[in-house]
Amino acid sequence: MNTQQTHTHYVPQNLLTGNNLKIQKTTDKASVDGFDGVKSYIMHLAANYMMGGKVNTCPHATPGCAAACLTHAGHGCFTRAQTARRNKSDFFYNDQTAFMTKLYKEIAAKARNNPTKLIAIRLNGTSDIAWEFIRFDMGDGAKNIFEHFLNMPNVVFYDYTKIPVRIWRQAEGKMPANYHLVFSRAETESNQLTANKVLEIGGGVAAVFGGEVPETYQGWPVINGDETDARWLDRQEFNVTGGYIVGLTVKGLAAKRDKSNNFIVW
């Protein structure tokens, strides 16, 4: 295992990975925003239920989304991958400053080593952490991870979230300009009320479908989010204005068979 042991936890060799089928579709882009291509990276922490109640990596997780969580799909279901995600989460919660410093250095190195590429970072691959509230100092004052990269035009961040306050902050222009969020639909009434409000103010809402991605859902246009993970380019690439749905197909055999899970739109 590529880790370094400290007194209380492991320090993974890498926090980010580019070895993910979904983000590789984004990396395949030939050119975008004046750059000659995209290099995409994602970070997977342990999903909420994997931490045994010690910490909460997904504060607005619902039973339905937990059952259909991406951590059950692809390579994420294997013990080695889940152990690596727990190690990263332990590192984050046990030594947050060291974690954020390492994360900053990884991103900065990728940006420096690929000056003609757009570096796209998704921090919440299997978590929903409000990174904008975590500040750390790299010698130029305490900032969040996004603010540290505002002077690097070839770095962009994006995520999906179920935390309403994060979406409202984005709508009010209170999020860093290099960070883009899409709200994630779930099966609860409160979540769906928020999702409707996000659509009404012109935002994007991700929804998981049990079959093919439709062209519209409840009167809103649907784009196929499985084609690319470049959520910050949705309006440009899919020519959408106003509120829209990011349609995703359900992943994982168990989730595909569970027709009683209303997190999934059947």
b/e for 131-151, b at 16 or more Cβ within 10 A? Answer: bbebebeeeeeebbbbbbbee
Q: Does position 4 have pLDDT exceeding 90, yes or no?
A: no
Residue 125 CB coordination number (10 Å): 22
Alpha carbons 43 and 16: distance in angstroms, whole number? 5
At residue 29, does pLDDT exceed 70?
A: yes
Q: Pick the range with the lowest mean pLDDT from 26-35, 44-53, 68-77, 223-232.
A: 68-77
pLDDT of residue 8: 57
Q: Is 1 helix (H, G, I), strand (E, B) or coil?
A: coil
How confident is residue 77, by pLDDT bands cut at 50, 70 and 90?
A: low
pLDDT band at residue 49 under the 50/70/90 scheme = low
Tell me if the pTM is above 0.95. Answer: no
| pLDDT tier for residue 128 given thresholds of 50, 70 and 90 | very high
pLDDT at 5: 45
Secondary structure of residue 111 in the 3-state scheme: helix
* pLDDT for res 32: 84
pLDDT of residue 6: 44
Pairing label, strands 3-5, 179-184: unpaired
As a whole number of angstroms, the distance between CA 235 and CA 12 comes to 36
Higher pLDDT, 9 or 52: 9
Please tell me the distance from the alpha carbon of residue 144 to that of residue 132, in angstroms, as a whole number: 5
Mean pLDDT of the chain: 89
Q: Summarize pLDDT for 184-214 with one digit per residue, the tens.
A: 999 999 999 999 999 999 999 999 999 999 9
Question: In the beta sheet, which residues pair with residue 77?
Answer: none
pLDDT for 236-264, tens place per residue?
Answer: 999 999 999 999 999 876 666 788 999 99
Extents of the domains making up the chain: 3-265
Of 139, 154, 145, nearest to 176 (Cα)? 145
The residue that leads in pLDDT, 41 or 19, is 41
In DSSP terms, which residues pair with 5 in a beta bridge? 10
What pLDDT shows up at residue 213?
97
